Structure 1
Amino acid sequence: MRILVVDDDPLAGEMIGALLEFQGYDVLLANDAMEAISQLDAHDTIALIVSDMHMPLVSGIELLNMLREQGVTLPFILLTGDTPDETLRQTPGLSACLQKDAALDTSLGHAVAQAVGE
């Protein structure tokens, strides 16, 4: 399964990508929302999006809303360095909202499996 990872911090994006690749997923990286949209247009095999919340110009939530307005219904997992509040966790169209913490390797794997029904 192919997962698109969107993060403006290249090191963080590569780390998240490596976690997912270790779990057996094929990963594409994008540095911002516009690159993410280009990747989605170029690769029809993307099954899930994992995006950072805080990015310049277009945040992860804004990316989710843009994609939903365009009719893209792929599962969407949001990552944040902050503790996500309940309002954020309940965002319509969001599969999961996870904190980037020491347990991310486990929590992300569970969230991906749940989001795609594995």
Structure 2
Amino acid sequence: MRILIVDDDPFAGAMAEAILDAEGHDCLLVESGVEALDALGEEHEAFDLVISDMHMPLLSGLDLFREMRDRGIPTPFVLLTGDDPEPLHAQAPGIAACLMKDASLEATLPAAVARL
């Protein structure tokens, strides 16, 4: 699966990328929602999934998800957060999964991707 990972924290982004690389996925890591929209551009079909951090400057993960939908980009979307994921998931119907960005990510992220 070709996955776009969006995270302004280089360590956290690299961790998500390493987890998914180990599962055999092809990942591209970018540092902001703006970069993600540029990467998606006209060729959003090049990605099977977008995984984004929630708290980023300029464009939060929820803002990125909403902007993607406003632009007609239907790519499945997974949100990672250090906050309680349930209220965030409720704010954005259509998000495939909202996962805690904690030590359990090594198990929960591949499981969420496998469900898609």
Which category of TM-score, normalised to the shorter sequence, fits these structures? over 0.9
CA RMSD of aligned residues (A): 1.3
2:32 matches 1:26: no
In structure 2, the residue corresponding to 1:8 is in which secondary structure? Answer: coil
- Map 1:85-96 onto structure 2 (within 5 A): 86-90=86-90, 91-96=92-97
Q: What are structure 1's unaligned runs of at least 5 residues? A: none
Q: TM-score, normalised by structure 2?
A: 0.92
Shift of residue 11 of structure 1?
1.3
Q: Distance in 2 between matches of 1:43 and 1:92?
A: 20
Q: Distance in 1 between matches of 2:113 and 2:76?
A: 9
Shift of residue 88 of structure 1?
1.5
- Count of matched residue pairs: 114
Shift of residue 83 of structure 1?
2.1
Q: Distance in 1 between matches of 2:67 and 2:104?
A: 29
Residues 68-106 of structure 1: CA deviation (Å, up to 9, x unaligned): 00011111000001222x332232120000001111111
Shift of residue 64 of structure 1?
0.2
Contact 2:2/2:25, CA 8 A, preserved across alignment: yes
Contact 2:45/2:75, CA 8 A, preserved across alignment: no
Q: Distance in 1 between matches of 2:84 and 2:66?
A: 21
Corresponding residue of 1:45? 46
Identity %: 51
Contact 2:44/2:73, CA 8 A, preserved across alignment: no
Residues 40-82 of structure 1: CA deviation (Å, up to 9, x unaligned): 1266421000000000111000000000000111110000012
Corresponding residue of 2:107? 106
Corresponding residue of 1:62? 63
Corresponding residue of 2:4? 4
Runs of 4+ in 1 over 4 A off after TM superposition: none
